[in-house]
Structure 1
Amino acid sequence: MPDHSRPSPEIADEVLVLGGGVAGLACAQALAEAGQAVRVLERDRIGAATSLGNCGTLTPSHALPLAAPGMVGTALRWMFTPDAPFLVRPRWDPELWHWMLRFAARCNPGTFARAIAPKAALLTASMDLLDDLVKRRGLDCGYRRDGLTYVYRDLAAFKAAVSEHLRLTAHGIEVQVWDGETAQADEPCLRPGVVGALHFPGDGHLRPERYTAELARLVREDGGVVEEGVAVRRLQRAAGGWYLESADGRCWTARELLVAAGPWARRLLAPLGLRLPLVPGKGYSITTARPAQAPRRPLVLKERSVCITAWDDGFRLGSTMEFAGYDARLTRARLDALERGAREGLREPIGPGRREEWFGWRPMTWDDLPVLGAAPGHPGLWLAVGHGMMGMGMSAVTGRLLADLMLGRDPVVDPAPYRLERFASR
């Protein structure tokens, strides 16, 4: 019997994509290019949430898992240090502490080593796919693939990092080990005192807000629709597909629903009985005009965990990880830590004209891999969530993989490591 309590849908589509950040737009782009009738529904503005203020780095170099041996001890030492690079704010939050226990259980050498391959597979495939998309469709997003450099001022930390990161070469990721003199010759913007650096020539970067805008342009060019300001309050199975209703009473139906709602996905899908192992990890950035002595390519000042990206028309300091729930405060201590770290490492640590101070919630899973693929027990429901800090770097492969799975094509990478079912037995 039909449900007469629901308003009639305004428009029926083949695929509804819920979320207009980089993951949702990449999926919509791949589906629209393949000829699907796609509609993107974004709660705010396109690319304005987690995708907006990050450093825009594209990093196979980051294939080492966040859950590394020794991380638990480090996190405990930093728990009461407000400007620590990795901060867990102590409070009553059962979901966070369950997540943390699972994360802590992975901080051992065996699990760490096994976790590199699936993360590296996504990051390396995505670089090649993005490179092709930029050239083939003429994306104007400041894209460059000229490397990224980790910079060290502590000799013991540098030696440990060399041993750790050379593991990446077994996964097709080139690592160059530089002494301090080589690093400072390559980047004259660095202050004296560098003891060594790791350079990753296969990494790249882009301007994130321009990239998401360009993905939205391609969706529209290929016949898709992108709607902003749609706060979804209800989603459920309907005859032959899915039904969505917004807070202002609009509604949509589609044959298939793809949820790419970042840190909000857990709450959206909970009424369906789906438990996503997601918590929000808060990152910060400061954006200014480009300084006179800017880095030639992105840098990470490793002891302070500060990432620096310079574009032709801007400059950004970013990073840090804060587990504080959905705390919407822009914490001054976290922003000051970015600038202080940059002052230790750069001759000119910040540019003129501070344009923006920003934070965003990253959708973090405790195994540091996204959830990609069909939602078990819910026909026609697909997931592209949990990219953590790697949304930009994994966007192109996320879009291609979801399109492959939804259209019954051979998948671009093995989808098994990214299925939601992997959490059922853990």
Structure 2
Amino acid sequence: MAHIIIIGGGIIGLSAAYYLHREGHEVTVLDKGDITGNCSYGNAGMIVPSHFVPLAAPGMIRQGIRWMFNSRSPFYIKPAINSELIGWGLQFIKHATARHVAAAAVPLRDLSLLSRSLYNELAQEPGLAFGLQHKGILAFFKTNKAAEEEAHLVKDAAALGLDFALLDAKACRALQPDLELDVLGAVHYRCDGHLSPRSLMTTLLAYLEKNNVTILRNHAADGVEMEGGVIRAITASGKRFTADHFVLATGAWSPAVAKMLHVKAPLMPGKGYSFMGENPNDCLQIPALLCEARVAVTPMDEQIRYGGTMELARINGKVNMNRVQGIVDAIPAYFPGLRPALPATANTWFGFRPSSPDGLPYIGYSKKVKNLVLATGHGMMGLSLGPATGLLVSRLINGQPTEVGMEPFAPDRF
């Protein structure tokens, strides 16, 4: 049995804690806050094998430049002169190619399918209840251009063996007869699913603490003792912690923590917003992606969660209500009967997705620090890929074979 310190208490860190504990290890999780405010709580709750196209894809640079001049647009890069953004941007440009998209598709699919399978297993665990459902996700489109883009995407999905159906407007209405629609059609990605992020995190935390995993809140890692390329101890909140292995799972805060640990984790925080609204007559039954608007809509806890935007900038606590207004305005264009009000700032959640420049997460041992495993950089798919990442971290630390190839996720690839 080894002692493992996991830095970060989001879904990635807690998933790693679950699988490491299951293997008999002593596990301690350190989190800089009270855990409830991290990105794992406010996301759209989607499990998405259909998301096999990384953020770094052809057309994103051109589209991003156009969106930069619209304060309500789905994607925004705040101009800034700093080495982190410049370095990240150069790597993003390098990887925004059709060749990279093709190379990333299989690893992302395999990681997602593994995670979906593990969620099914977790849902059977006594004490874990998080509203897991397998109704798929509907990607709605309103324009011929978006329809063509989705038709191209489903060809790739078919080649990857994913389960989907291309629907016209009539077929869309038949699936949810109480939901008023103004769309040309949709792709029903039947391979996808959804859950309640808050229920998942709450029950998983309770399960781990009940099973003697130590969770230390408000313990930000702030120092390290190194010897011969090995971490001997880290400090947090004035305390010294020793362990055999350390796991870096601090999401958007990873670059600073990685630097402290003498490694690199090139990431940009992608701020996203979400808010809750009513689900009148339970009209929305299947989660939706609004293709042109880049908005996610999920039935959740007897309400609807609306979410979207990707704002690449330094971590900050400002709520840009113009971006939230962009989400609000998009909804009735697809669902005329749903007209959510602009939420108060206090009722608007925001979080930071840790976005790597090539759109693939970092999962694996560092080459520079022998007892450090990185598990970060999942972008918008942290919740979707949480269990798979946690299991892989456990496999690596145990020296066991992994269910998927690890080379595409190598932490030292840049």
Question: Same-fold call, TM > 0.5?
Answer: yes
- Deviation sequence 1:167-212 (CA, Å, 0-9, x none): 0222231121001111122133554431110001121111112111
Distance 2:144 2:173 in 1: 15
The alpha carbon displacement at 1:293 in A equals: 4.8
RMSD: 2.1
For 2:203, what is the secondary structure of its paired residue?
helix
1:376 and 1:108 map into 2 onto residues whose CA distance is: 27
Tell me whether 179-188 or 351-360 shows the greater mean CA deviation: 351-360
Number of positions where the alignment pairs a residue of Structure 1 with one of Structure 2: 411
The 5-angstrom pairing of residues 13-92 of structure 1 reads 14-92=3-81
Question: 2:349 aligned with 1:362, yes or no?
Answer: no
**How far apart are the structure 1 equivalents of 2:58 and 2:323?**
25
1:58 to partner: Cα distance:
0.6
Which secondary structure state, in structure 2, belongs to the residue aligned with residue 136 of structure 1?
A: coil
1:414 maps to 2:408: no
Letter in 1 for 2:73: A
The question of 1:215 aligning with 2:204 is answered yes
Q: Say whether 1:185 aligns with 2:174.
A: yes
In the superposition, relative to structure 1, how do residues 97 and 222 fare at CA in structure 2: closer, same or farther (>3 Å)? same
1:242 counterpart (232, 235, 247): 232
Correspondence for 2:84 among 88, 95, 99? 95
Say yes or no: does 1:199 pair with 2:188: yes
In the TM superposition, what is the alpha-carbon distance from 1:290 to its structure 2 partner?
3.4
Structure 1 stretch 191-200 or stretch 354-363: which is displaced more?
Answer: 354-363
**Is the 2:275–2:343 Cα contact (8 Å) retained in structure 1?**
no
Contact in 2 for aligned 1:153/1:194 (Cα 8 Å): yes
| Unpaired segments ≥5 residues, structure 1 | 1-12
**Identical residues among aligned pairs (%):** 30
State how far apart, in whole Å, the 2-side matches of 1:417 and 1:75 are.
25
1:349 — aligned with what? 339
1:295 corresponding residue in structure 2 = 284
Say which SS state the counterpart of residue 146 (structure 1) adopts: coil
Contact 2:315 2:352 in 1 (8 A): yes
Q: 2:265 aligns with which of 276, 289, 302?
A: 276
Q: What is the rounded CA distance, in whole Å, between the counterparts of 2:37 and 2:301 in structure 1?
A: 21
Tell me the residue number matched to 2:164: 175
Which residue of 1 is the match for residue 389 of structure 2?
Answer: 398
- The TM-score with structure 2 as length reference comes to 0.94
Q: What is the CA deviation profile of residues 144-183 of structure 1, one whole-angstrom value per residue up to 9, with x for unaligned ones?
A: 1221110011122112211123202222311210011111
Q: CA deviation at 1:288?
A: 3.0
Q: Is the 8 A contact 2:127 2:203 kept in 1?
A: no
Amino acid of the structure 2 residue aligned with 1:243: A
Aligned partner letter, 2:364: G
Change (3 A) 1:374 1:83: same
1:242, 1:50 → 2: CA distance? 30
Aligned equivalents of 2:280, 2:93: Cα separation in 1: 40
> In structure 1, how many angstroms separate the alpha carbons of the residues matched to 2:342 and 2:324?
16
Q: 1:137, CA displacement in angstroms?
A: 3.9
Per-residue CA deviations over 1:345-400 (Å, capped at 9, x if unaligned) read: 22123389978311101100011111011111212111101010001110110011
* 2:100 corresponds to 1:111: yes
The runs of at least 4 aligned residues of structure 1 exceeding 6 Å deviation read 351-355
Q: Could you tell me which residue of structure 2 aligns to residue 10 of structure 1?
A: none
Separation in 2, partners of 1:230, 1:312: 31
| 1:28-65 deviation line (CA, Å, top 9, x unaligned) | 01001111000111111224211121111111111112
1:60–1:303 CA distance, 2 compared to 1 (3 A): same
